[in-house]
Amino acid sequence: MNELRKAKLSDLAAINAIAESCPDLPRWSLAMLEAEITASKSYMAVWFQAGKVCGFGGFLRVLDEAQVTLIAVDAQERKRGLGKALMKHLIDTARGENLKKMTLEVSAANEAALNLYRHQGFEAVGRRPNFYHARGAQTDAILMDLIL
């Protein structure tokens, strides 16, 4: 059974395992992920399939905007449309809450994520030079917005 639903505390270990396995994802502590699941200003969803969490994504509500915080798919489940489904779910949820804009930042080196966001209608609106430091290299952050 496939299910796209709001994350529960019982999903925390699986979310953390996926997050730790993604080299392009900013490092979040277990406490930060737990807060993302439980805080009233946050929304986190999981893709639950074949008895396990295969991906997750979330946003933080700031005034009338949704700031995407994290989105990741288990390495074994990539290239199957789960990231697209998660992103669409986050967008639909934000629209359902009458939020006006969705924002995010992404590494300029993360082509898969950039393509995902562009296909969902996000547009680049800015750049933060040398923002990310991963695998011994510095990359810029691309700031992107989607008017909801």
Q: How many CB atoms lie within 10 A of CB 17?
A: 12
The set of catalytic residues is: 105, 117
Task: Give the burial class of 109: count Cβ atoms within 10 A of its Cβ; 0-12 exposed, 13-18 middle, 19 or more buried.
Answer: middle
Residue 14: predicted pLDDT = 93
CATH code linked to domain 2-147 = 3.40.630.30
Residue 24: predicted pLDDT = 67
* Contacts of residue 106, Cβ cutoff 8 Å, sequence gap at least 6: 113, 114, 117, 141, 142, 144
For residue 136, the one-letter residue type is: G
Backbone angles phi, psi at 111, to 5 degrees: -60, -40
- For residue range 45-90, what is the model confidence (pLDDT) as tens digits? 999 888 889 999 999 999 999 999 989 888 787 888 888 999 999 9
User: CA nearest 2: which of 72, 88, 86, 64?
Assistant: 86
Mean pLDDT on 96-113:
93
Give the residue extent of every domain in the chain.
2-147
- For residue range 108-148, what is the model confidence (pLDDT) as tens digits? 988 888 999 999 999 999 999 988 776 667 889 999 999 99
Distance from C-alpha of 87 to C-alpha of 18, rounded to nearest angstrom = 16
Q: How many CB atoms lie within 10 A of CB 31?
A: 8
Residue 141: predicted pLDDT = 92
pTM of the predicted model, to two decimals? 0.89
